[in-house]
Structure 1
Amino acid sequence: DEKLNLIYTSPSTERLFGYKQDELRGHSAFEFFHPEDLAAHEERVRMLLEGKEFPSIEFRVRKKNGDYIWCDVATKAIQTAEGDSRIVVVTREVNERKEMQEKLEKFGALCDKELHNTKKYLEQLISRLPLALVAWDKDCKIKTWNPKATQMFGFSQDEFLERNPEDLFSLTQAQCPIKQVWNQLLEDEQATFIGKNRTKNGKNLICNWTNMLLRDENGNPDGVLSMIQDVTEKKKLEEKLTGIAYSLSGVKAGDSYLIGSIQESLKIAFDLTSHSIKGLFIVREDPDYLINNYNFKPEDIVLLSAKSIKEFKAINSLQDIAITITKFLQNKGGVVVLGGLEYLISRCGFNPVFMMIQEKRFEFLEAGATLLVPINLATLDSKEKGLLTSELKLIN
């Protein structure tokens, strides 16, 4: 009734609360509410009797054994035919759901705390990182700029946030690596390049950029994290050492050579790679022999064969050879030994092989790299030898 005395309870009340129907009749519903909820219930009853409507609410109800359970309760005020006020109450237990909700809330609070701590830790890590670190979104707007980036380039965080990373390069817009790195990141997730950068005061730097693709919560590409290291002095030293290595080897960076034996080519390549010049060896030699006798790295050896051996990569088409060389030359410099020319000519014919060499020679010139092509000259006729020596410098 309007005083919340129980007039009727359904048979399911016993299953839900443990009371028989006659045990509840005449008792006030307030007797079964949790003490902390009483004030809210009194106000709700008053407003119901005034004609207000409410959505269902959740509150605690005492069972016969003294335990409290959470219930979802819908209420509605009605009038009897005699004009008396009555309140109809429909109740269902939601104890398990409420307990799960509370656990989730506690877990969420714990996660928020852990997330806050992790974020704080990462912020400290970024600020103390000995490398310049910048993050830029898919619109090429810089969103993160750490203190080392300020130290390296001279721009404060406020000066460079929302700017394009291309503004750090001394190259023209068409040549800037940033325009090219995005497509590579979409394919490989990570990309490294060496760029010519410019500081706020106009000083030129040579920097190594290590870039990683960032994704949003749905896995879509969302930006790039770039770690930048100033390698200007290191590059100057490497250039001096490279110059010494080339002067001792008898070949020059940017030139391409035709050599009468594979052993001579490998010796020259060994002299260069021993001075930290990177190498690529596309050959038909035993890879273990190259590793043991010339100290070449396994990952730098590509077998010219239709069948791979052990973990070594194998290629046998002119297209695959051209792609492998072009990819190697992207980072500039280095030495490439293109062996097995006799094998290629026997499979593909002289003209296609010669045309590939013609095209690649200019890539080596542009990259400042050296191409060594060993071949048994006795396998060539005079015309073929003349054509090759018109493109490649002959070393007997």
Structure 2
Amino acid sequence: MSEQRSPSPRGYPFGEAVALDVDPLYAKLRREEPVLRVGCPFGDDAWLVTTYADMKTILGDRRFSRALAAEHDESRLTPLPIHTSILGMDPPDHTRLRRLLTKVFTTRRVELLRPRLEGEAHRLIDGLLAQGPPADLMEGFAVPFAGTVVCDLLGVPFEDRERFRGWLDAFSATTVMTEEEVEADTERLHGYIAQLMGSRRARPRDDLISAMVEASDKEDRLSEKELVELATVLLIAGHETVSSQLVDSLFVLFTHPGQLDLLKHRPELMPTAVEELLRYVPLISHVTFARYATEDVELSGTLVRAGESVLPAIPSANRDESVFENADRFDLTREHNPHLGFGYGIHRCLGAPLARLEMRVALETLFARLPGMRCAVPPGSLEWKDGMQVRSLLSLPATW
């Protein structure tokens, strides 16, 4: 076991994320230095973890805590620590909040949303056809498709999206916003959610925000701050994360025409295709939230001492050759695919069943209605959002 500490931690991230490329340095680190001491732009130094096996340990082992981040200057890429709500808790607080949401995101209940999703997909494609090619699949399909779903579920008026959408960037901005801008937009979004909760308290509806307010008021299960931050996290995940995953997945399919043709000829492959897209797309540019060791733990021969933090690099774990054969190849027939696209352990994404269904319905409907759909410009000319933790195209022009 190594206890050696680097005299000067390596600067992280190693470079700007380029399109959907995964930095080749991760493969070298997995082989030679799977646990590396790094210094991020903000917060304390940390251990960067790059292998799949170590990733499952730090995400699933109770010896690693998310809640302890609140007691430290968390290693991070954002100017301010992010209000992570349930994602920043350990049991029993985490259990208390997750129990409230678990019944909403069961596979059975999510499947009941399929007609609503299919109807929305067809409505948006009707709009694309009426407009004619080329059309932007980001603003013309992915954003309204994902946004409508999560807004309906939560009870957020979709027509308010022009007000709140810009505020969502404050939660994943790394270099494109100042500390003051992040703080101001965070306060605006929290204020907007708080107003919605006040209106639901006066006039409840059949939506998740109303259910959360009722649980808080009648059962004293959530504080007002917990309510606001939890609803905010759900809105961000359902709106920005899903729309980015969808448009990035379309980009991958367009740039792998052989795989796309296979999917069109064998639509029964869609479930495995969705899983492969979730693995292959490095949606998080670099690392997810830090975990803190509550006792000394060995990871790949390196001792992580109690109180030290580790940073999980999910894009690296999903390309680990010891788990995924030909890990850098996009293969929609891949059968063994235990990817970490939704995380792992107690913080595994609650909305995974819904995200999977959204992906399936969106892709199935798009390629059924527009079988000749393809990128309208050279892929290398497309522009990507800079300075954000979530990778996403600014637009995806398509023709058919």
User: Does the pair score TM above 0.5?
Assistant: no
Question: Relative contact order, CA 8 A, sep 6+: which one is greater?
Answer: 2
Bigger proportion of residues as strand: 1
Q: Which has the larger radius of gyration?
A: 1
TM normalised by structure 2 equals: 0.25
TM normalised by structure 1 equals: 0.25
